Structure 1
Amino acid sequence: MNNITSLLARAFFMSTPLILGALGEVIAERTGMMVTAVEGIFLIGAWGGFIGAYISGNLYLGFLLAMVCGLMVALLYALTTVYMNQHQIVMGTAISILVTGFCTFFYRVIFGIQTTPLKVEVLSTIQIPILSQIPFVGKILFSQNIITYLAYLLIPIILFVMNHTALGLTLRSCGENPEAVDTAGIDILKIRFAAVAVAGCLGGIAGAYYSLCNVGMYTSEIISGRGWIAFGICFLGNWNPVGALIFGTVFGVSEAIGVYVKSLGMSTMPSELFSALPYVLVIVLTVCRKDLRAPNKLGQNYVKEN
């Protein structure tokens, strides 16, 4: 029972950055913007978070810098796609490649070439009084770090805003019928720009989660495609915050299983098989999912008619 409890607690821990990234994608994609720079946003978040925390000695300043870094990359993406009408997939891929080189180069500029990795203390867990003492559930849900709690708090907030407010109606309309929104006198480009900016902030925090909560260090391979997993979770969850929670948790479980099995040192099966488990899962689930309800204008730039 203790092994199962630890495994599930680890699953919720590992699902946090995926859920954060997927929530950002939900917000942006409901307006019609596919933030295909998500991998780069995750990476620069991990980079900025570690540098901020290492230099300042404060993990929360690290998360703040990570959010700013993610925002800067998202603004670059939004500028080129929303206002310059460049292809969303091409620009997102190009920006992610640019960020990879940027992070590698400036990490070496700041710290030089290290023989041993630089490290920071990871973010500690917070035991919620009374709730953390509940058998089984307490250790899984109420013995996590503050970023995990904030991620799960965001889900009902975003769900309410999307489905029960005028702002949510405007966001959804920008992705479904932008011409009608434009006719109503609402600036679609500003709405889309702001949505991408929010996705960048959440993605930056998600990236920093890996360097400041998981391993306490930064490497150029720290993200390793997890930004794309968050991107896929948005699709699998049908662009819904609850769907992001469900599939984010599923992928958290798969990643936790991979870590757990590798820790057992099973020599009969290669460890790479379990490392690849989350990526295999996203392919299988995407192929099997048949009822995707994408926003009508997803991935299509809007050009205002004169």
Structure 2
Amino acid sequence: MSETYLNFAFIITVLQAAIRMSTPLIWATMGGIFSEKAGVLSIGMEGILLVGAFGGFIGAFYTGNLLLGVLIAMLAGGITAAIYGYLTVKIGGSQAVVGTALVLFAAGITGFLYRAIFGVSSNLTNVGMFSDLKIPVLSRIPYIGSILFEQNVLVYLGFMVVLITWFTLYRTAWGLEIRSIGEHPEAADTVGLNVNLYRNICVLISGLLGGIGGAYLSLANANTFVEMMSAEKGYMAFAIIILGKYNPLGALLGCLLFGFADALQLRLQASGINIPFQFLLMLPYVLTLGVTASAGRAEKPAALARPYKKN
């Protein structure tokens, strides 16, 4: 390999990008973990990311405020998740089928609305974009300072959400109740827990967090909306949850792994390396599949994807 790909500046650039590339996955996986710990598949996360990206873009475009754009993205993600929760938790529809249908609907409706509002043009409509926020003192730490502490606010919040998710699920009574519903809803019901209410709340949380992940795509990773810009990240988040064994900290490592692979393939393409770009595009998925296959079996919540009907 050429010295270009081994020099320190190249490595630092890849690691900086890896943090950014992993951020939408972090938001999506944390939301998905809440949902799946309660027994509801997060297979519709791809659609939630997409409507979040569109909602964030539209919100920022019409209000001129990025934070309002994020709030509107959360609203869009929450509404999408609420629909999913109603059809699966309340009515008892197949979570896999409804989730897949939701993704297809999100792809269609966001593309239709974008074209209806902005027309069909090769020129993309742009909005503002979250800028990097340097953390005083910490950003000056040699090497790691520029990697970890020169990111935008959604990156910092994403890492905080990982800790909040872990603490909530494993160190609070509410988290214990969520996990008990995902493992044995009948037993949870007998002690007075409203199983379907808990599940709907967790699905709603997944939509709110996934909506922020979508907003990151259109307001931090880019400054516009592009049809299908979620680019299978929702499906990857679904796989990362399994890779991380349904634990927020394990899922964080999976997100960073995928983010690193994605950043590496992009930087290698930009450097002009003599490898067909199609092979480089495969790198994140091949790496993630390889790690998932070698990680061993993950113990999923016992009642995952199983509707609950109170007797």
Q: TM-score, normalised by structure 1?
A: 0.97
| 1:276 aligns to 2:282 (yes or no) | yes
Choose from 284, 291, 306 the match for 1:300.
306
Question: Matched residues in 1 for 2:76 and 2:268: separation?
Answer: 34
Q: State, as a whole percentage, how many aligned pairs show the same letter.
A: 39
Question: Matched residues in 2 for 1:243 and 1:123: separation?
Answer: 28
| 1:75 aligns to 2:91 (yes or no) | no
1:44-83 equivalence runs, <5 A: 44-83=51-90
The Cα offsets for residues 210-244 of structure 1, whole Å up to 9 and x where unpaired, read as 11111211111311111111111111001111011
Choose from 86, 102, 109 the match for 1:95.
102
The Cα offsets for residues 185-228 of structure 1, whole Å up to 9 and x where unpaired, read as 11000000000000001111111211111121111131111111
Conserved 8 A contact 2:243-2:254: yes
Deviation at 1:88, TM superposition (A): 0.3
Amino acid in the other structure paired with 2:295: R
Query: CA RMSD for the aligned pairs?
Result: 1.1
| 1:252 aligns to 2:220 (yes or no) | no
**Partner SS for 1:60:** helix
**Partner SS for 2:220:** helix
Question: Matched residues in 2 for 1:3 and 1:225: separation?
Answer: 27
Partner residue, 2:41? 34
Conserved 8 A contact 2:43-2:234: no
Question: Matched residues in 2 for 1:154 and 1:95: separation?
Answer: 25
| 1:262 aligns to 2:272 (yes or no) | no
Conserved 8 A contact 2:107-2:228: no
| 1:43 aligns to 2:50 (yes or no) | yes
Question: Matched residues in 1 for 2:60 and 2:71: separation?
Answer: 9
Partner residue, 1:288? 294
Choose from 239, 242, 245 the match for 1:235.
242
Deviation at 1:277, TM superposition (A): 1.8
1:38-187 equivalence runs, <5 A: 38-187=45-194
Amino acid in the other structure paired with 1:301: P
Question: Matched residues in 2 for 1:119 and 1:258: separation?
Answer: 26
Conserved 8 A contact 2:218-2:225: yes
* Runs of 4+ more than 4 Å apart: none
The Cα offsets for residues 48-79 of structure 1, whole Å up to 9 and x where unpaired, read as 11111122221111111111111111000000
The Cα offsets for residues 148-189 of structure 1, whole Å up to 9 and x where unpaired, read as 101111122211111111101100001111111100111000
**Partner SS for 1:214:** coil
Question: Matched residues in 2 for 1:46 and 1:166: separation?
Answer: 33
Runs of 5+ consecutive residues of structure 1 not aligned to the other structure? none
Amino acid in the other structure paired with 2:43: T
Question: Matched residues in 2 for 1:2 and 1:118: separation?
Answer: 33
Partner residue, 1:4? 11
Deviation at 1:265, TM superposition (A): 2.0
Question: Matched residues in 2 for 1:209 and 1:275: separation?
Answer: 21
The Cα offsets for residues 89-121 of structure 1, whole Å up to 9 and x where unpaired, read as 000001110111111111111112223111123
**Partner SS for 2:193:** coil
Question: Matched residues in 1 for 2:164 and 2:105: separation?
Answer: 33
Q: TM-score, normalised by structure 2?
A: 0.95
The Cα offsets for residues 234-291 of structure 1, whole Å up to 9 and x where unpaired, read as 110011110111111001100100110111122x312122222222233323333323
Aligned length: 304
**Partner SS for 2:210:** helix
